[in-house]
Structure 1
Amino acid sequence: MTKLLLVTTLSAFLLACGDPTTVKPTSRAPEAATIPTLELANGLLAEGDIAQAAHVFAQLASKEIDPLQRQEYQLIATELYFDSGLYNDGARMYATFPETLSTEKMQLRRTILAAYYSLAQQKPEQALQALPAVQSLADRMLRIRALEIRARAQQQLGQTDLALKSRILLETNLVTPESIEINHTKINEMLAQLDQPTLQKMVTTPAGSIYRGWLEYTLLTRSQAVISPEIYAQRYQLWQARYPGHPATPTDIDGPLAPLAFTENSISTSEVALLLPLTGQFSQLGEAIKTGFIAARFADGATTSIRLYDTRSDATEAQKQYSIAAAEGATMIIGPLNKAAVINLAASNRITVPTLSLNYVGDGMPGHSNLYQFGLLPEDEARDAAYYTLSNDYKKALVITADSTLGTRLANAFSEAFTGAGGTIIGSEVISEDSYDYSPQLTSLLAIDSSNTRKRRLEQLLGTKLKFEPAIRSDIDAIFMAVNADQARLLRPQLQFHHASKLPVLSTSRIFSGEPDKRADGDLTGIRFNEIPWLLTDARINSPLYSGISQVEQNTSDAIARLTALGIDAYLLHTRLDTMRIDPSFSVSGKTGALTLEEGNRIRRRLEWAEFLEGVPEKISDPLPLPAVLPPVNTEL
């Protein structure tokens, strides 16, 4: 009887847990002349009158002599009261339970009811604490109750990622089409409340194909209003091919789907070849990328076959290994890493397999339809800084450049992107890596020498000494520094000393070591810089991926951590290149940035931004933050 009752009321329970936020008043009990019987209770349940059935079971409990049967009735009545939203009635019935129930299963049911009531009182933390571990529940119906309550509590706490995982696990315990449909509806309603960036970031969470499929399906359906029906149909077919048999039920595509326009060039990822330097000069870099890629694959639960090919840090060997990988049946090749090897590969015109390189060919070189270029290009950071500067309405900038090849590359990329988008470079200076005093360059750049010249002329004209504080030029909106961390630590105090404390100062990841160092970076306070997401927040340490990566990253340079992130993103990208190709607006929220596919099959990275506050980088959440104001310093020092 109990089993029949729980099955009968399952849909009511699932629906009741959808909105346990208000406590309903006590409902009307059956007429006193009505004789409570099991037949009456089950008849009421069959009619959908859960509240009246609860009252009948409460009466049966009050009249029952056998302790075991009385406790069963008490539990059923309480469950039905809660399922019908009559929490006060349920709480009163709960209070009649004996201190110890007769069986372990009854004890577990009471524990779940306690969590249920906490949820109804808007106490999700308390509900989660009260719930028994799901793996300890041998009874399927108890698992269903526990998982539904857990999912709802997690959703109340804003833990949508955990709530989705709970609902996916819940579905493995559901058997009736009605209960499965209710669960799907709740998933769709929950994901519909999330904004686009949150969904895109969750897609990259390594939580299995069912989890990722729900998120990508939500993004797909949301895009229907802004993309053409043809592209939408193609993207749906890609989603369907990527997640065959996924439980999401598409109901919003009208008419027959158009065939894929690029069927012959569709990318298969069943056999992936990794071309990396696993021995030789760059072996540590190759190992970091390999570790990130494989960790992402295992965390994702994918069945992709991965073969490793050692390019030995040599461009010629990379070409040889590429040919071997293609001949051995690779359907997707990741690599090579060496820039010369990528250039040789692009020039060879023998790219027979879809390939995601881990570096870029030079500007102006012809691309290839099968070659997708991805990597940690420093120029990406400089261009990103240029767009960020303009997005804050800083239209006139000064540029300070390190006297190095990389400094020049960064400064040129910033200046080109900044002026190309409407900004103006009003001055620039190059500083030597061997110098510690940048006063000559700064006084010239800030036009302080002109201010001092005007002062001397006035003194000569007036014939008296003047009290005077030099002023910097008034047309500066921001300063971009293409320098390393040591130079930045020297520059920032000197900018303050030369009266530029209120100017926004921006830079790239070169000024951050990858690990917070309050003592070393105290002088960087107020400087904003862009960085890959993997290094900016605790998400890296808390990520399921990190356990398989931490040993590789420990006691190494920040470059290794960046390359493990590159390996993770190579995995994320290789299954999404088809989607990115047909929909240029599609973005992958990766560990190295927000990734989009540009003309020439080049992956573009948009990075996250942080600001040093008392030497510690703090992520900037506002896409258009106000300028940082540096604290004044004593210019008499």
Structure 2
Amino acid sequence: MTKNHACKAFIISLSIFLLAACVTNQQSKRSNSNIYGASSGESAEFYLAEAQKYENDQAANFKLKAASVFAQQQRFEQTYETIVSFQPTQLTPNKRNAYYLLKGESALRQQKPFEAIRALQSVTSPELQSPAWNLHYQLISADALQANQRYVDAAITRIEAKDLIKDKSQFEQQMQLAWQELSQSPLGALESKRSRAESYDAMAWLDLAITNQRFANNARLLSEGLNSWSKTYPEHPAYQYLSTESMTVRDIEFLAPKKIALIIPLSGRFSSVGGAIRDGFLAGYFQSRQIQGEQPEVVIYDSANGESIEQIYQNAMFDGVEMVVGPLLKNNIDELTRFNELPIPTLVLNRLSSDFAPANMYQFGLPVEDEATQIARYAMRNGQTRAFVIDAEPSVGQRAMQSFTQAYEELGGTVVQTATIGRNQDPKEEITRLLGVDKVEQRTDELQNLLNLPIESSGHGSANADAIFLIANAKRARIIKPYLNYYYAYNLPVYATSNIYNGTSNTRIDNDLSGIRFTDSPWMLSTNKAISKLKNNLAKTLPSSSKNLGRFFALGHDAFMVVPEIGQLSALPDSAMEGISGLLSIDSYGRIKRQLAWGHYVKGEVQNYIER
């Protein structure tokens, strides 16, 4: 699971703080009982006055009574000042526990947690005191341990005191606080405490916390661990304190096929694309086998062998396949959409144009719509609320423009002007119209003819925008970007889709692209050392893994990797999986969405761009 651990840790810490404050208030209310031992009805000032009349042991006894009254009145500053004015050795042994409790609690209230825990640890045989006294002592000790960041010790102290708690709301608060403290504890501290645990309760709580933390980033293992814990500790109440997300993970039905079919074109027009997907799929297979051991059997079918896709699908089922990945081409996928439900889980390698899909079908492709939407959201986050859009890519331009415009306007942005540039069209006319430069030049010519004087055009258009969304390949963009610079749009950020990058850059010819930011897969941009290492290892044996076909290689790789995670991604809307094609999540229609990385051209060279 892709949780923000720093944020999660902060939330847990804040929850502990707030809940501890609530619990402290309840303890304060309980303190009006005779826990502190002062019962004569005299004031603290009376006892302090009496102490002035005596020395040594007798004075200490009166000061102890004064401190007890101060504590009953929640005047812990005065309690602390009084209690540290004499030594416990001045008291008889049967009164020293009262001294240490008063000193520990008052020190804790004075933000002296280390002094508090030292005093409280000096108490002897608290179980011989009254149940109310012992409970108060145990919970104050837990608070002191927590204040010293000894979270696991604080939690176990609360858990072991639970049988002393008679109030239901207080019981619930203490158990919630115990679970939050266990969740805050380092895994090593939990395991160390577990190795010394003796009680069934302590072992149950610790094992649950260890399982929840150890497998926090692997939903499958977390599910298995939670189910194993439930069998070991059936109906144990600790389970109810798990987060809703963890509870959901336990009940997820993970896909665990023993045999997977990969249906892709391996002959004909799209064979190179199919080959790249196959190579990526097998690379994912071998990578997983190296890390996790045995993997499902993979059977590969050529979707371009002349048979209908329905027949190939039936052949795969006859061969005992339990999961299908593919087909790739939309016309093949359309054949499958005639069914209301597919007989086995199927991950098609493209995105349907409509929201309808048969049950048991998931969609995973490289749609430009994801990129356009991401760019629109990024521009709006950066306060760029007015945009020009340039479509110079006939194959995907309209889809990209439509997705960008929809997402942008939903967020409150305005598309000021659009320009569509044909494949063989000189872009100058459309660029000048887009920027409003044509009107400026026309007005300049009119004034020059009227006044019969030479007038220099400023080149500035009347239309204004904060950003430009460019849909073009690198060849077309090398022509368009200089026009933008020439007509004074050089200061506007230019965003582009991955079409602008083919996997390599040439500083000599790509210098004109400098400044353009674009979305692309982590694989294409080599966003981390692990990806760079894998690319280098595969460069010679699998040349299809880089350059133009690299995105399809990444698609194939992640298609294998995502199969066991589909259950988690479907059940947990906020979960995501790190892939080499992007950060992957699933929407309610079974479509795998990609959050892509960012690159930008700097002096003609592509570099990673850290999203701000």
Aligned counterpart for 1:434 among listed residues 421, 424, 429: 424
Aligned counterpart for 2:388 among listed residues 379, 389, 398: 398
Residues 371, 601 of structure 1: 8 Å contact kept: yes
Letter in 2 for 1:424: T
The answer for the alignment partner of 1:451 in structure 2 is: 440
The answer for the alignment partner of 1:588 in structure 2 is: 577
Change (3 A) 1:453 1:548: closer
Residues 427, 480 of structure 2: 8 Å contact kept: yes
Deviation per residue, 1:169-200 (Å, 9 max, x gap): xxxxxxxxxxxxx99518999xxxxxxxxxxx
Provide structure 1 residue ranges, at least 5 long, that are not aligned to the other structure.
1-181, 190-212, 221-231, 246-250, 625-637
Change (3 A) 1:272 1:387: same
SS of match in other structure, 1:475:
coil
Residues 258, 322 of structure 2: 8 Å contact kept: yes
Letter in 2 for 1:535: M
For residues 300 and 183 of structure 1, the distance between their equivalents in structure 2, rounded to whole angstroms, comes to 28
Letter in 2 for 1:274: L
SS of match in other structure, 1:560:
helix
- What is the number of equivalent residue pairs in this alignment? 401
Aligned pairs for 1:354-369 (under 5 A) are 354-364=345-355, 366-369=356-359
Letter in 2 for 1:506: Y
Change (3 A) 1:470 1:543: closer
The answer for the alignment partner of 1:482 in structure 2 is: 471
Change (3 A) 1:478 1:579: same
The answer for the alignment partner of 2:271 in structure 1 is: 283
Change (3 A) 1:315 1:576: farther
Change (3 A) 1:329 1:240: farther
The answer for the alignment partner of 1:195 in structure 2 is: none
Deviation at 1:379, TM superposition (A): 2.1
Aligned counterpart for 1:331 among listed residues 311, 315, 322: 322
For residues 619 and 399 of structure 1, the distance between their equivalents in structure 2, rounded to whole angstroms, comes to 24
SS of match in other structure, 1:274:
strand
Residues 482, 507 of structure 1: 8 Å contact kept: yes
Deviation at 1:558, TM superposition (A): 2.8
For residues 480 and 242 of structure 1, the distance between their equivalents in structure 2, rounded to whole angstroms, comes to 52
Deviation at 1:370, TM superposition (A): 1.0
Q: Tell me whether 1:237 sits opposite 2:223 in the alignment.
A: yes
RMSD of the alignment, in Å?
Answer: 3.7
The answer for the alignment partner of 1:380 in structure 2 is: 370
Residues 216, 222 of structure 2: 8 Å contact kept: no
**Amino-acid identity (%):** 28
Please identify which structure carries the higher helix content: 2
Residues 216, 239 of structure 1: 8 Å contact kept: no
Residues 292, 549 of structure 1: 8 Å contact kept: no
SS of match in other structure, 2:338:
helix
Deviation at 1:547, TM superposition (A): 6.2
Deviation at 1:314, TM superposition (A): 6.0
SS of match in other structure, 2:568:
helix
The answer for the alignment partner of 2:130 in structure 1 is: none
Residues 440, 457 of structure 2: 8 Å contact kept: no
For residues 472 and 215 of structure 1, the distance between their equivalents in structure 2, rounded to whole angstroms, comes to 58
Aligned counterpart for 1:613 among listed residues 588, 602, 606: 602
Deviation per residue, 1:4-23 (Å, 9 max, x gap): xxxxxxxxxxxxxxxxxxxx
For residues 336 and 378 of structure 2, the distance between their equivalents in structure 1, rounded to whole angstroms, comes to 34
Q: Tell me whether 1:185 sits opposite 2:188 in the alignment.
A: yes
Deviation at 1:442, TM superposition (A): 1.6
Letter in 2 for 1:414: F
For residues 450 and 354 of structure 1, the distance between their equivalents in structure 2, rounded to whole angstroms, comes to 58
Residues 392, 420 of structure 2: 8 Å contact kept: yes
Deviation at 1:502, TM superposition (A): 0.8
Change (3 A) 1:183 1:550: farther
Deviation per residue, 1:341-393 (Å, 9 max, x gap): 122112223511111111122224x2233111001112222222222222222
Aligned counterpart for 2:592 among listed residues 603, 607, 622: 603
Deviation per residue, 1:78-112 (Å, 9 max, x gap): xxxxxxxxxxxxxxxxxxxxxxxxxxxxxxxxxxx
Residues 262, 326 of structure 2: 8 Å contact kept: yes
For residues 562 and 508 of structure 1, the distance between their equivalents in structure 2, rounded to whole angstroms, comes to 13
Change (3 A) 1:503 1:186: farther
The answer for the alignment partner of 1:571 in structure 2 is: 560
Change (3 A) 1:530 1:542: closer
Residues 485, 510 of structure 1: 8 Å contact kept: yes
Deviation per residue, 1:552-585 (Å, 9 max, x gap): 5427873321111111111221111111111111
Deviation at 1:304, TM superposition (A): 1.8
Change (3 A) 1:411 1:350: same
Q: Tell me whether 1:218 sits opposite 2:185 in the alignment.
A: no
Letter in 2 for 1:381: E
The answer for the alignment partner of 1:501 in structure 2 is: 490
Deviation per residue, 1:211-242 (Å, 9 max, x gap): xx99982347xxxxxxxxxxx9x994266689
The answer for the alignment partner of 1:57 in structure 2 is: none
Deviation at 1:276, TM superposition (A): 2.2
Change (3 A) 1:349 1:555: closer
Deviation per residue, 1:133-176 (Å, 9 max, x gap): xxxxxxxxxxxxxxxxxxxxxxxxxxxxxxxxxxxxxxxxxxxx
Deviation per residue, 1:517-572 (Å, 9 max, x gap): 21221110011111111011264785564466324542787332111111111122
Normalising by the residue count of structure 1, what TM-score does the alignment of the two structures yield? 0.56
